[in-house]
Structure 1
Amino acid sequence: MKLAKVQPIVLVGGSNTWGIRNTFHSLLAILTTFLVISFIYIKQDNGTQLSSSSPPQEHEEMIDASQDDDTHHNNVSSSKCDLFNGKWVFDNKSYPLYKDKECKFMSDQLACEKFGRKDLSYQNWRWKPNHCDLPRFNATALLERLRNKRLVFVGDSLNRGQWVSMVCLLHTSLSSSTHTSMHNTANASLNIWKVKEYNATIEHYWAPLLVESNSDDPVHHRVIERTVRVNAIEKHARYWTHADFIVFNTYLWWRRPLMNVLWGTFGDPNGVYKKVEMLRVYEMALRTWSDWLEVHVNRNKTQLFFVSMSPTHERAEEWGADKGDNCYKETEMITEEGYWGKGSDPKMMKVVENVVEDLKTRGLNVEILNITQLSEYRKEAHPSIYRKQWEPLTQKQIQDPNSYADCIHWCLPGVPDVWNEILYAYLFQQ
């Protein structure tokens, strides 16, 4: 800033007192003017620097992963932020969030690297929602959130995979001195992982159809005819009644045109069996589930989530590959925007949305974690032949991937970790 030119002072009358006083006052005025102008200049300069370092409006909606307080996490509630629409970004510096060999609770069904998979780039993809970022997963912050609480995953093997992912995300971040334990109960249907220092449990309850069925045994559930009791849920629900956070799913076990419905009790000769169109039975079961929630859930304590259908990639012709092939040997994701395979059923998703919306009108909030579309792109992220379920695949089975490749579940680390990052954002948003 250019200062005004100051005129020289001329002393008149030599040692005249008035002249000296006048000169002193003039010097004081000049000094004061200079200080004021300098202060204004400094303030303007600092204001310019502050303005240039402030993030633009769009960035104000993004989440700084270094922040972990609740105020920070509320950024994901911005009206422009859609956690479920976005793109996958390759990030081999931050991802994977853990190594499968470091997690002693890893499931062999999902440990693809352990069982011979060499191309591991599926581990290095980060989900980038539109107009915001997912918060960086912070195990310590989450365990503080879960102190003296229960986080329970309820559903099928996809839900169990998300539970394993959550356990590994937390376990691999703990110090070696932290005491953890794993045990099961309810005839092995309920698996409980506990972090003693936080008195926090992360649990999985096996209920693939949510309501009672002939597939409820966590090990022996391969049946030719699947039968459900659509009005019976208490057998399962009593194990998660008092949980603080419950994450539900149910989808894959319903994929058949007709379902056997039983009115009565299994083994009761007076029970009434009837084949009903699957979509109708699905809705009936979810209505039983929602009615139970309305009556039994403590609305001041429990947060509820429903994970949408997990897509499958069993038909390679759907993404332009050879007919008869599947996800085996796939190393790149699908790049077609909005891709939707035949393994996902929009009608079933609509049923879930309707039931959840009806619950909200009754004053009970259930958040739908809509992971379907973002997972549709990830055809390369399934275990394929690189897994063990009950027994390792035989050499003959490995050589027949069109019959034995698992294109339903997901390798870990991988896609379910992103589902948990989204869940993490919701837990802190609340």
Structure 2
Amino acid sequence: MKPPSTSDRRVLSLFPFLLAYLLFIGTARLVKENFRLIKDQGGNAKPLSNLTNGGSLIDGCDLFDGKWVLDGGTRPLYEEESCPYLTQQVTCGTNGRPDSLYQNWRWEPHACKLPRFDAVKLLEILRGKRLMFIGDSIQRTQWQSMVCLIQSVIPPGKKSMHRNPPMKIFRAEEFNASIEFYWAPFIVESNSDHFKKHSVLKRLVKLDSISKHSRRWEGVDIMVFESYVWWMYKPIINATIGSLDNVKEYDVTNAYELALKTWANWIESNINPHTQKIFFMSLSPTHLWSWEWKAGSNENCFNESYPIQDPSYWGTGSSRDMMGIVRDTLQDLAINVTLLNITQLSEFRKDGHTSVYTERRGKLLTSEQRSDPNSYADCIHWCLPGVPDTWNEILYAYLLHDFPLH
């Protein structure tokens, strides 16, 4: 069993002290390292954006290498009140956030331009297709973002939302297209798979079991997978291989690797690369400790209004081991899976989290709770409109490239 690195072990030891906080936000990603690059097997530094089975460049341009530009003319891409599908968890403005600057930043790659998001073009690409986001609450936010980005161009009566737990399905009727979310925080099966009752203290992951989930994925045209923060709840995790009676404690990095191998086996056995397209999202950063970007401070993402300007900034929440496992898994696949490397660009956005302008157990934080951001600020989830819209703009660029309209 592969032991955790020294830096991983140091941060994972903080988990007992953060348990109450983690239960509130439902999930966490707390691995302390300062690495922007992953070492390849030859020991050479290689940017994560290049570490995909088929490469992540579009016509030679790295969409993930760029900067945030303030753009009040084209941002936000939609308004909170114009999208009835947003949940209370992510509507920071409606929930009382006094500033709105977090909605006005546009991601600008250094070597090229992102195509302007066109909802009608995307719907044409998705005509007769199913687009499914698979993962945890971070992935659910990206799904909500995508629904909001396209729903305004669909006439009333021609769109619908259906709930088929653990799925949510938005349909564009005239295009025979659906944008779906499937709850699977570990990708493989676990005792946290219930769409509501998933905040269990003793998590159990079935490292070699995926069929319960995957039968819902069969035949889906475009899939976007994501799984990370739920693995980082504690430095070890209870897991099984084979018999459910044989429960053992696994180091999370080893368990994650085994789970992704199970996922990879399913991909290779079930995906038709000529008709289906698969993406894997890199980890979504947290901004739990302000000393990372403001030396000597002892706060978090609360009351932040501007992105981090240091182009080399890399927070303490990104595990080199876990990111390396994703890299190796994708590179070893016989089928092309594209990595959407949103980690670095999202690292800069300490201002984009829901902070205290969100809910807890289905209820908005009280004024008393909001006055204690060190205890109650959620610096893991993101406001909408906001950062996840950019993730979807990049996904749109890939879809436009892979499914050209004639």
TM-score by length of 1: 0.78
Q: Which residue of 2 aligns with 1:78?
A: 59
Q: Is the 8 A contact 1:178 1:197 kept in 2?
A: no
> Does 2:195 correspond to 1:218?
yes
Counterpart CA distance in 2 for 1:321 and 1:422 is: 32
Gaps of 5+ in 1: 1-75
Instruction: Single out whichever of 283-292 and 293-302 deviates more from structure 2.
Output: 293-302
Offset of residue 322 of structure 1:
5.0
1:200 to 164, 177, 192: 177
Higher relative contact order (CA 8 A, sep 6+): 2
1:240 to 208, 217, 238: 217
SS in structure 2 at match of 1:383:
strand
SS in structure 2 at match of 1:290:
helix
Q: Which residue of 2 aligns with 1:41?
A: none
Q: Is the 8 A contact 2:238 2:248 kept in 1?
A: yes
One-letter identity of the residue aligned with 1:77: I
Q: Which residue of 2 aligns with 1:261?
A: 239
Q: Which residue of 2 aligns with 1:391?
A: 363
Give a deviation string over 1:157-189, Cα, whole Å, max 9, x none. 0000000000000112333x451111111xx21
Offset of residue 264 of structure 1:
4.5
Give a deviation string over 1:44-72, Cα, whole Å, max 9, x none. xxxxxxxxxxxxxxxxxxxxxxxxxxxxx
Instruction: Single out whichever of 138-147 and 216-225 deviates more from structure 2.
Output: 216-225
> Does 2:126 correspond to 1:146?
yes
Counterpart CA distance in 1 for 2:58 and 2:208 is: 36
Q: Which residue of 1 aligns with 2:390?
A: 418
Counterpart CA distance in 2 for 1:322 and 1:112 is: 28
**Which structure has the larger Rg?**
1
Instruction: Single out whichever of 303-312 and 291-300 deviates more from structure 2.
Output: 291-300
> Does 2:283 correspond to 1:309?
yes
Q: Is the 8 A contact 1:134 1:421 kept in 2?
A: yes
TM-score by length of 2: 0.83
Counterpart CA distance in 2 for 1:252 and 1:323 is: 25
Counterpart CA distance in 2 for 1:311 and 1:222 is: 21
Q: Is the 8 A contact 2:68 2:307 kept in 1?
A: no
2:161 to 182, 198, 218: 182
Aligned ranges for residues 154-165 of structure 1 at < 5 Å? 154-165=134-145
SS in structure 1 at match of 2:368:
helix
Q: Is the 8 A contact 1:305 1:366 kept in 2?
A: yes
What do you get for the CA RMSD once the two structures are aligned?
A: 1.2
Q: Which residue of 2 aligns with 1:329?
A: 303
SS in structure 1 at match of 2:364:
coil
Counterpart CA distance in 2 for 1:108 and 1:172 is: 19
Q: Is the 8 A contact 1:318 1:341 kept in 2?
A: yes
One-letter identity of the residue aligned with 1:313: H
> Does 2:319 correspond to 1:345?
yes
Q: Which residue of 1 aligns with 2:381?
A: 409
Offset of residue 224 of structure 1:
1.2
Gaps of 5+ in 2: 1-56
Percent identity, aligned pairs only, is 49
Offset of residue 133 of structure 1:
0.4
Counterpart CA distance in 1 for 2:166 and 2:353 is: 25
Q: Is the 8 A contact 1:178 1:195 kept in 2?
A: no
Give a deviation string over 1:126-180, Cα, whole Å, max 9, x none. 11112100000000000011111100000010000000000000112333x4511
One-letter identity of the residue aligned with 2:58: S
Q: Which residue of 2 aligns with 1:134?
A: 114
Q: Which residue of 2 aligns with 1:382?
A: 353
Give a deviation string over 1:247-270, Cα, whole Å, max 9, x none. 0000100112111112346xx5xx
Counterpart CA distance in 2 for 1:334 and 1:291 is: 39
1:117 to 88, 97, 100: 97
Counterpart CA distance in 2 for 1:224 and 1:388 is: 20
Offset of residue 246 of structure 1:
0.1
Counterpart CA distance in 2 for 1:165 and 1:307 is: 15
